[in-house]
Structure 1
Amino acid sequence: YLLVNPKERPVLLVESVLCPTLIRDTVADVLFHHFEAPSLLFAPAHLLSLLPLGTQTGLVLDCGYKEALVVPVFHGVSVLKAWQAAPLGAEAIHLNLQRLLGSEAALDGGEKLEKRLVPESLCEDIKVRACFVTRRARAAAYAAAAAAAASSEDTPSASSDPEPRPVDFELPLDGGRRLLSVPGRVRELACEALFEPDSDGVSLPALLLDSLLMCPVDLRAPLASNILVIGGTAMLPGFNSRLREELTALLEQPRYRQLAGLAPFKFHSPPGKANFIAWLGGAIMGALEVMGVRALTREQYRLSGDRMPDWPEFFHGSLSSQEEAAKGLERR
Structure 2
Amino acid sequence: RFERLLQSQYLLIDSRPRRLVLVLPSSLPLPLVSTVLDTLFTNFQPPTISLMSAPALTTVAAGLRSALVVDIGWSETVITSIYEYREVQCTRTVRGTKMLGEEMFRMLAEVIDPSVSEEDETTGEKIRNILSFEECEEVLARMAWCKPGKRPEQQALPVGLTPVEEEDELRSSMRAMDISEDHAANPMQAIPLRSTDPPITLKLPFSKLAEPCETALFGAGKLAHDLDDQELPLHLLVYRSLLKLPLDVRSICMSRIIFVGGGSNLPGLKSRILGDVAALIEQRGWDSVQGKAVDQLRNNPKLRRTRSRQAGEGPTEVLGDEIVTSPGLMDQEPDPIEDELKREARKTNPAVESGNLRAVESLGAWSGGSLLSQLKIPSVSVVDRDAWLQHGASGASRSAEISIGTQRQSMGPGAFKSAGGDRSSWTLGLWG
> What do the CA deviations read for 1:197-232 (whole angstroms, capped 9, x no partner)?
662271111111111122112211111111111111
Matches within 5 A, 1:166-315: 166-174=187-195, 178-181=199-202, 183=204, 184-192=206-214, 193-196=216-219, 199-200=226-227, 202-254=232-284, 256-257=286-287, 264-270=356-362, 272=363, 277-291=364-378, 294-305=381-392, 309=396, 312=399
- Does the Cα contact within 8 Å between 1:130 and 1:169 map onto a contact in 2? no
Alpha carbons of structure 1 residues 85 and 316: separation in structure 2 relative to 1, 3 Å: farther
Q: 1:84 — aligned with what?
A: 91
Partner Cα distance (2:247, 2:274) in 1 = 21
**TM superposition shift of 1:103:** 1.5
1:96 aligned partner, one-letter code: E
Whichever of the two has the greater Rg, that structure is 2
Cross-structure match for 2:141: 128
Shift of 1:128: 0.6
The 2-side partners of 1:265 and 1:137 are apart by 16
Aligned-partner Cα distance in 2 for 1:314–1:103: 60
Q: 1:68, 1:87 within 8 Å by CA — same for their partners in 2?
A: yes
The whole-number CA distance in structure 2 between the counterparts of 1:187 and 1:17 is: 35
Are the structure 2 counterparts of residues 132 and 6 from structure 1 closer, same or farther at C-alpha, using a change threshold of 3 Å? farther
Q: Distance in 2 between matches of 1:213 and 1:28?
A: 37
Which residue is equivalent to 2:39? 30
Helix, strand or coil at the partner of 1:133: coil
Question: Would you say the 8 A contact 2:22–2:52 is kept in 1?
Answer: yes
Deviation of 1:266 after TM superposition, in Å, equals 0.8
Mapped contact 1:97–1:186 kept (Cα < 8 A) = no
Q: Match of 1:128, SS?
A: helix
Aligned equivalents of 1:225 and 1:20: distance in 2?
31
Following the alignment from structure 1 to structure 2, what is the Cα–Cα distance between the partners of residues 87 and 100?
Answer: 20
Equivalent residue, structure 2, for 1:157: none
Residue type of the partner of 1:280?
S
What CA distance in whole angstroms lies between the structure 1 residues aligned with 2:397 and 2:199?
Answer: 54
**Counterparts of 2:401 and 2:198 in 1: how far apart (Å)?**
59
Contact 1:226 1:266 (8 Å CA) reproduced:
yes
Aligned counterparts of 1:119 and 1:27: Cα–Cα separation in 2: 34
Amino acid at match of 2:79: V
Matched, 1:39 2:48: yes
The equivalent of 1:57 in structure 2 is 66
1:21 is matched with 30
For 1:265 and 1:130, the matched residues in 2 are separated by 28
Deviation at 1:295, TM superposition (A): 2.8
**Gap change, CA 1:3 and 1:295, over 3 Å in 2:** same
Task: State the alpha-carbon separation in 2 of the partners of residues 69 and 210 from structure 1.
Answer: 13
TM-score after normalising by structure 2: 0.59
Deviation at 1:119, TM superposition (A): 3.8
- State the shift of 1:106 in Å: 6.5
Amino acid of the residue matched to residue 206 of structure 1? L
The 1-side partners of 2:196 and 2:371 are apart by 43
The residue type paired with residue 35 of structure 1 is F
Q: Which amino acid aligns with 1:50?
A: T
* SS of equivalent to 2:21: strand
- Superposed CA deviations along residues 120-160 of structure 1, whole A, max 9, x for unmatched, are 3233211111111111259xxxxxxxxxxxxxxxxxxxxxx
1:165 aligns with 2:186: yes
Inter-partner Cα distance in structure 2 for 1:255 and 1:282: 37
How far apart, in 2, do the equivalents of 1:63 and 1:313 lie?
A: 33
> What is the TM-score when the length of structure 1 is the normalising length?
0.75
The number of residue pairs the alignment matches comes to 287
Gaps of 5+ in 1: 108-113, 139-160, 324-332
Give the 5 Å matches for 1:96-175.
96-105=103-112, 115-116=127-128, 117-137=130-150, 162-174=183-195
8 Å Cα contact 1:29/1:306 also seen in 2? no
Which AA in structure 2 matches 1:121? Answer: E
Q: Mean Cα displacement is larger for which, 284-293 or 13-22?
A: 284-293
Q: Is the 8 A contact 2:188 2:203 kept in 1?
A: no
CA pair 303-12 structure 1, distance change in 2 beyond 3 A: same
Contact 2:402 2:425 in 1 (8 A): no
Structure 2 letter corresponding to 1:54: G
> How far has the Cα of 1:78 moved from its partner?
1.0
SS for the counterpart of 2:367 is: helix
Q: Is the 8 A contact 2:131 2:195 kept in 1?
A: no
Shift of 1:188: 1.5
Q: CA deviation at 1:310?
A: 8.1
Q: 1:309 to 1:94 in 2, by over 3 A?
A: farther
In the alignment, is the contact (CA less than 8 A) between 2:52 and 2:379 conserved in 1?
Answer: no
